[in-house]
Structure 1
Amino acid sequence: MRFIRTRTARVAGAALFAVPLALGGLASQSHAQDASPSPSGTFGSGCSALSQKTDTAKDKVTEAAAAYPQLSQLVSATVRAKLSDAFDGKPDVTVFAPNNQAFQKVTVSQLVSLLGDPGQLKKVLTYHVVDKQITPDQLSKGSFTTVEGGKLTTSGSGSTFKVNGEANIVCGNIKAANATIYVIDSVLKPPS
């Protein structure tokens, strides 16, 4: 009789211990389902507005960016700074590519000054490039060292992300042969 009571008490104790664990497991699974997953393909509210000439997956990053008319000012600045070969020669990069509207936010005098100073232009452009491929799931709380040497941060969730808390990623995860491109709506300023 004593053996049965002890065994019953152990089973009851185990059941009392197991119920909270099971509920905790369900709670964490429920929480995991509430979190928005990172996009696996191209994403962003501005992707439909990006007109693309061709498939860019086999092109090096400069040629891939040139396929998008909305990135023409960035491509022009990259050529002017003589960075095309440098970016195309890297095996894996991520480019936070300001679109033409981003350049329109810069005052004319600032843009003329930037384009007239090759050293500063190179500094600004290389601040938009990270020397590794960044996947969408790394964007939620990212901190990356740029080719320029400064830090760049990303934040957000789902398909809504910001760079340095100011620039929106309007179309992301565009593939090139050696790069991932995230189109942004502001020109980033490297830290002084």
Structure 2
Amino acid sequence: MNTKLRTRSMGLAALALTASMGLAACGSESDTDSASEPTTSESSSETPMEESESPMESEEPMAADAPFGPGCAGVPTSGEGSVEGMADDPVATAASNNPLLKTLVAAVTEADLVDTLNSAENLTVFAPTDDAFAAIPKKDLNALLKDKEMLTTVLTHHVVGESLTPENLAGEHETLAGDMLTVEGEGEDFTIGEASVVCGNVQTANATVYVVDQVLMPQM
């Protein structure tokens, strides 16, 4: 009897041990499965991040063609005097809608150059701001505005008879006055003598405009 009971007890213990090992194996398999799940979710979460970067890259070419310089902050953001509005009109008309260029427009009108500038093609205009004209002593400015021949020479000294992009702006260029302008610089930093471009690469229907902070005086 004792021998049989001992044998039966050993058999039950072996069964219990086998069952516990089976449960442990199942638990380790489920742990392995659950541990592998985060890897799948992490790899899937990386895909949207990679896709979200591509639209930013497509915006760079647009920025390259835009006007540049601190003076562009003074250009209206909407209406005929805005960058978009100026692109629709020939250069003299476009300048007349820009609040930074009122004195220049008055001078162009006084010199009877409106039609000349509006009807030409592929011009580059260095346009002095109102502040640039205000820096000239008032007596001298009034005398210039009254001398049509001299005024015409000064104004056409600001105009080049070809379209200059920022890439080919630096160098020597012949003006409509028949003399030369020397532009130095690169990228978004250009100077003409003591004058600096403060808002460059503004497009009009027939010209590229570079707004400058000083009036460019020809050599007499």
Higher relative contact order (CA 8 A, sep 6+): 1
Name which one, 1 or 2, has greater alpha-carbon Rg.
Answer: 2
C-alpha separation in 1, matches of 2:160 and 2:107: 18
C-alpha separation in 2, matches of 1:49 and 1:82: 27
Gaps of 5+ in 2: 1-63
Structure 1 runs, 4 residues or longer, greater than 3 Å off: none
C-alpha separation in 2, matches of 1:155 and 1:64: 26
C-alpha separation in 1, matches of 2:75 and 2:191: 18
TM-score using structure 1 length: 0.76
Number of positions where the alignment pairs a residue of Structure 1 with one of Structure 2: 153
**Aligned match of 2:175:** 146
SS in 1 for 2:208: strand
- Whichever structure has more helix as a proportion of its residues is 2
Deviations 1:13-34 (A, max 9, x none): xxxxxxxxxxxxxxxxxxxxxx
Seq. identity, %: 41
Give the Å deviation of 1:109: 1.1
SS in 1 for 2:154: helix
Question: Is the deviation greater in 172-181 or in 152-161?
Answer: 152-161
TM-score using structure 2 length: 0.67
Please provide the CA RMSD for this pair. Answer: 1.4
Q: 2:65 aligns with which of 35, 40, 47?
A: 40
C-alpha separation in 2, matches of 1:60 and 1:94: 12
Give the Å deviation of 1:158: 2.1
Give the Å deviation of 1:172: 0.6
C-alpha separation in 2, matches of 1:49 and 1:180: 18
**Aligned match of 2:114:** 84
Give the Å deviation of 1:40: 2.9
**Aligned match of 1:174:** 202
C-alpha separation in 2, matches of 1:145 and 1:105: 26
Deviations 1:54-82 (A, max 9, x none): 21112011111112111010001001100
Gaps of 5+ in 1: 1-38
Letter in 2 for 1:117: D
